[in-house]
Structure 1
Amino acid sequence: MNEFEKFLREINRAFSEGDTQYLLENVTDDFCWFIVGEKTVSGKTEFSEALEQMRQLPPMKIEIDNIIMEGNSASVEGKVTGKNKNGQKKHFGFCDLYRVTNPAAPKISEMTSFVIDLSKHKLYKESC
């Protein structure tokens, strides 16, 4: 496992544990997060506010299935299990696309997240 992959795994650990300090230390000041179909988060200040909102939810478990890296870009694909504000168990599939300043000493400059609610599908309803 190279340093870039370790970094991506650590970013996902930070998301799952609500480690906002680590996340904020590892994005650029002009960081942009596109959450497809939902919203765009622009800059470190907005990112900090979005992370604070996420901390209001119960912790989530992130399972990484695939990481693909090429140059200063990467994709991370997997599943998230967590609970919503009503305490209902939820399952999501995700694919996050990252652009970093330098794979050898990465800081995330851009992130695009595709998220699908798998809880609506029969397979996941039966296992919840």
Structure 2
Amino acid sequence: MTGDVDTIFANISEDIVWNMVGSNALKGKDAVKKEMEPMRGFETAHQTKQIITHGKTAVIEGTMAMEEEGVHKKYAFCDIYKLDKHKDGKIIEITAYLIEVE
């Protein structure tokens, strides 16, 4: 998988809040674009464990692996998405949990 940041940019609201638990929060689409642009084309291996949706909320749990400065790293993640409307909604908030695993 490659970093398809354009798909992400097309599906987030202008006033998105992206909470990275244990780190900083990004506020606004421009801040998200600035943070994610270096990931364009960055190769990762994702495995989705489960997706849960209810109304305007979705949760994705899984793992991802990547090479960082020549070192293979694996992470577990759980992302919680809030949408502005039920059908064809834009993401207005993300809470992202990410931990490195062996």
Give unpaired runs (5+ residues) of structure 2: none
The amino acid that maps onto 1:87 is G
Matches within 5 A, 1:49-128: 49-55=34-40, 58-84=42-68, 86-119=69-102
> How far did 1:20 drift?
1.8
CA distance in 1, matches of 2:25, 2:99: 17
Identity %: 28
Q: Which has the higher helix share?
A: 1
Say what the alpha-carbon RMSD is for the aligned residues.
1.4
**Counterpart check, 1:28 vs 2:19:** no
TM-score by length of 1: 0.74
Moved over 4 A (4+): none
CA distance in 2, matches of 1:67, 1:102: 18
The amino acid that maps onto 2:93 is E
CA distance in 2, matches of 1:32, 1:61: 26
Q: Which of 19, 23, 30 is residue 4 of structure 2 equivalent to?
A: 19
Output one character per residue of 1:6-64: Cα deviation in whole Å (capped at 9) or x when no partner. xxxxxxxxxx52112211111000011011011111101010011113338x4111110
Greater length-normalized contact order (CA 8 Å, ≥ 6 residues apart) = 2
Q: Which has the higher strand share?
A: 2
Greater CA radius of gyration, 1 or 2? 1
